[in-house]
């Protein structure tokens, strides 16, 4: 079963790759974006201040940086790397989400109190509670051998 799935995936992937390369020579896609947003953005991007919703078919409202966007951006950012990079520098996500980023985000960006960031305050104690209630949230960043090293001094 697994071998069959794997072979199907390899064939499908290679087919898509070939088709994709060929397609680039034949078509210019309509559902596509400029590499950079033509106008500079402020601290919080509010697309709807300038764009009519879905003008040109693009779902601007999905990318609004609402007050809780810092906590809720996972599903929006997923697969939207191209949109994010129109305003943020390439791999901006890696500032916080890289495995083994060195400093936690609130230390790396110390002084910027405007941004919502995990681990502020006494997170050493709070993580005992939040880790019990939703370990998935911890796992996303610390669930890899390299990043879990920060856990080992206490957890072994």
Partner 1 sequence: MNIRILSFHRITLLLTFIFVSSSLAEPVSIDEIEAITIQVSAFRERQEAENEVMRLSASGVDAVIRHEAVAKKGMWYRVYVGRFEKAAQAHAYAETLKDQNIITWSWVKTSSLPDVTVQSSTPPPERKPAPVMVIAAAQAEKVPSPTSATQANVELATSVAQSTDGPTNPPTSSSSQWTEVGLEKIVQQSSGTLIEDEPEAAKNFEIHSQTTLRAFNRDTSENEDHLVLPIYQYLQIGYGNSEQGGWSMQAYGWGRSDLVDSAYFEDDNDAEFLYAYLDYRKPYSDFNLRIGRQNILTGVVNENLDGLKVGFGLWETFSATVFGGVTATTEESSSNATYGGRLAIHPQPHYEIGLAYQSTDLEDETEQKAGLDMAFSWSHWLIFQGLSSYRLDTEGWREHSYSASLRYNDLSLEPSFQFFSYQDYFDTAKQKNTLFQFLEDSDELVTIIGGSLQYQGLTPVRVATRVNQYTYDVREENADYFAGLLSVDMPGGSQIGVEAGRMDGETDDNTYTLYRAHFYWNDPFGIAESTFISADGILQFYDEPVFGKDSAENYSISAGMSLLDNAMEVKLTGSFSQDPYFDEDVEGIFTLLYNY
Interacting residues with partner 1 between 109 and 138 (CB under 8 A): 110-114, 120-122, 124-126, 128-130, 132-136, 138
Check residue 58 for interaction with partner 1 (CB under 8 A): yes
State the number of binding residues for partner 1 (CB under 8 A).
107
Find the shortest distance in angstroms from Cβ 3 to partner 1.
Answer: 9
Binding partner 1 (rule: CB under 8 A), the pick from 4, 57, 104, 118 is 57
Instruction: Name the helix (H) or strand (E) containing 8.
Output: helix 2-26
Separation of alpha carbons 47 and 109, rounded Å = 25
Kindly report the number of other CB atoms within 10 A of residue 102's CB atom: 7
Check residue 4 for interaction with partner 1 (CB under 8 A): no
Q: How many residues does the chain have?
A: 156
Find the shortest distance in angstroms from Cβ 127 to partner 1.
Answer: 11
Binding partner 1 (rule: CB under 8 A), the pick from 50, 104, 105, 118 is 50
Check residue 142 for interaction with partner 1 (CB under 8 A): yes
Check residue 89 for interaction with partner 1 (CB under 8 A): yes
Binding partner 1 (rule: CB under 8 A), the pick from 4, 11, 13, 105 is 13
Task: Tell me how far CA of residue 51 lies from CA of 56, 57, 64, 68, 106, in angstroms.
Answer: 10, 11, 11, 21, 32
Find the shortest distance in angstroms from Cβ 75 to partner 1.
Answer: 5
DSSP state of 92: T
Integer Rg of the chain from CA: 20
130 Cβ neighbours under 8 A, 6+ residues apart:
137, 138
């Amino acid at each position: 079963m697994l071998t069959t799935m794997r072979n199907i995936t390899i064939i499908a992937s290679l087919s898509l790759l070939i088709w994709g390369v060929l397609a680039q020579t034949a078509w210019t896609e309509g559902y596509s974006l400029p590499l950079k947003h033509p106008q500079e953005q402020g601290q919080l991007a509010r697309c709807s201040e300038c764009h009519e919703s879905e003008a040109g078919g693009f779902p601007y409202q999905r990318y609004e940086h609402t007050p809780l966007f810092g906590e809720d951006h996972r599903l929006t950012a997923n697969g939207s790397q191209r949109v994010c990079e129109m305003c943020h520098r390439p791999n901006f996500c890696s500032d916080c989400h890289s495995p083994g980023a060195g400093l936690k985000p609130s230390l790396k960006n110390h002084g910027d109190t405007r941004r919502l960031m995990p681990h502020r305050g006494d997170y050493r104690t709070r993580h005992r509670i939040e880790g019990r209630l939703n370990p998935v949230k911890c796992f996303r960043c610390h669930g890899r051998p390299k990043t879990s090293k920060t856990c080992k001094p206490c957890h072994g």
